[in-house]
Structure 1
Amino acid sequence: MKTFTYDRPDTPEAAARDQAQPGARFIAGGTNLLDLMKLQVETPDRLVDISRLDLAQVEQRADGGLTIGALVPNSDLAADPRVTAGYAVLARALLAGATGQLRNKATTGGNLLQRTRCYYFYDTASACNKREPGTGCSAIGGFNRILAVLGTSEHCIATHPSDMAVAMRALDATIVTLKGDGDKRRIPIADFYLLPGDTPHIENVLESGELITHVELPPPVTGARMLYRKVRDRASYAFALVSVAGVVTMADGKIASAALAFGGLAHLPWRNAEVEAGLVGQVPSDALFESAATTLLEGAKGFGSNDFKIPLTRRVLIASLRELTGMSA
């Protein structure tokens, strides 16, 4: 592991100023960053330890929503009574990720910023535009079983690994950030992540010296049925091949609202407004759900080892919609 300097600032503003220095990285739980450092994938010159900042609370807002500190451990967030009662999809997504020990250390902010688990990203002997821009993408034409089929580019087919972020996308979360001069930003999660294009190493809209301090959730959706379904190679400690976070309401036998986010398919938590609009106002049926799956998968492209994800996603979406609308009850 490369040597580095270590800072532990006392305030979020000081942390943001420290991280603005060249080669600096934030560290909190370290469940992803430390692995990457050991493999020489990440080689920071300076670590800015934010783990003791006062950002580990979950607070109810006046509008009924929640404000979640960036340092709230995943296990604490999954067990919070307000989350289990009003945002069950989030609790289920958190519990589907990693192991109990890792959830005790992993933080809300760090979970949002996880790096891809693409095999070639982790292998410094392989070409990877995300790790080293301009070197190529070994995953295209290589073994790409876990990689993306939507939103890809000729430069990268990596997937975002977070379960939590998929649920946050379905819940229309907002990410709150702070810079060293006190400036704050509120970034809708829909605008936070970036598709690979020709710059796959730029994964989100954060600027240097910008610290995630909180995540805001809107008030719970009254009467919503929620689901997090994760298909993976083994029952635990495995990343999603396909996952679905769903929030659906019904009225008079018809779908009144639908929010559907997908993991394992793209560089970011994937959501398709056309799919959701096509469901609203309709009576649930297998034909309707087949049509939704066709719309979702329009333009999907497999790269060999991951071709199976396209028919798998169709089946997972249909089964999820049947459950969310009560057809499979």
Structure 2
Amino acid sequence: MNAEFDEMVALFKDELELCKLKPTETMAVLTSGEIRADYAKAFLNAASQIGANAFELKLPSANRGHTGSFGITPLTDNRVAVECLKKADLVIDLVLLLFSKEQLELQNEGVRILMVVEPFDVIKRMFPKESDKQRVLYATELLRNAKELRFTNQSGTDVRYQLGQYPILIEYGFADEPGKWDHLPSCFSATSSNDGGVEGIVVMDKGDILFPFNRYVQEPIHLTINNGYVTKIEGGFDAMLMKEYMDSFKDPRAYAISHIGWGLNERAQWHSLAFDNQVFGMDGRAFYGNVLFSLGPNSELGGSNDTPCHLDLPMKNCTLYLDDTLIVKDGDIVIDEMKPVTSQHYEVHGKK
């Protein structure tokens, strides 16, 4: 084994320990073709060092239809594979099950699921700390207790979300509880509005991010929102690109407002997208102080909208309120409990 692979095994073992994988448990690695084969091998080695049972389930590639669409996976309608994975305590998802009904079915059976699709250098840099969980859980409680979320920016955004109908999406980078889904790496909290409960204007400006296009906005995009749906998209090329992509799904639910939240990972780098080494783009999604504005499905949080068209649109330099309490000001977290835990804090308190 080479040094890089040994480093991968060691890091993945640390991750499995954060996920509380025990020698008495079984871990499954879900793969498709040869994509991320090194990750699969490293996770199997790491589980072996812990003493857990482990196996790899390799499936044929899925025909996702539209590039960047969600919900159609190698596991779609494969009942034998789903039942097999239900026997595992922890599933390492290397194929991107996000927004699929099969993922939700596994979670409902108590299976822990960890999605791992980012490049290894991104995983290393953004690797979770135990303190991340407490910061994300604090954000989760703020969202859970709020009735309204409002965010603005200096470009003209002013939009309000009515909250309370749906649960909270909790991502701190490890799946350590029964039924928990998480993503390595991550570190943010989000929720969906009440059905039809979003009104206002969102103006994306230069430097904001368009996923799944993996590109920065070059000129403003004006989005008018009524009753939880985008009703008008105005601007130049970026607006045209967004609209034509969404229209291509021939599904009006693509225009629904999806989840909303803010990033807490100070190890994420907004500029990293410029290096073209992103897969899912967690640098942009989890970047400290960003507001993650999204369009499309809400099925991940129990809603009925399972459109395969999903856009995550991280925005810089926004201000966000929960019930008129200031949470993020011009892209900076103002609540002490969600600020990064410094290395000095670790040394004094013996925490990681």
TM-score (norm 2): 0.27
In terms of fraction of residues, the more strand-rich structure is 2
Greater RCO, 1 or 2 (C-alpha within 8 Å, sep 6+): 1
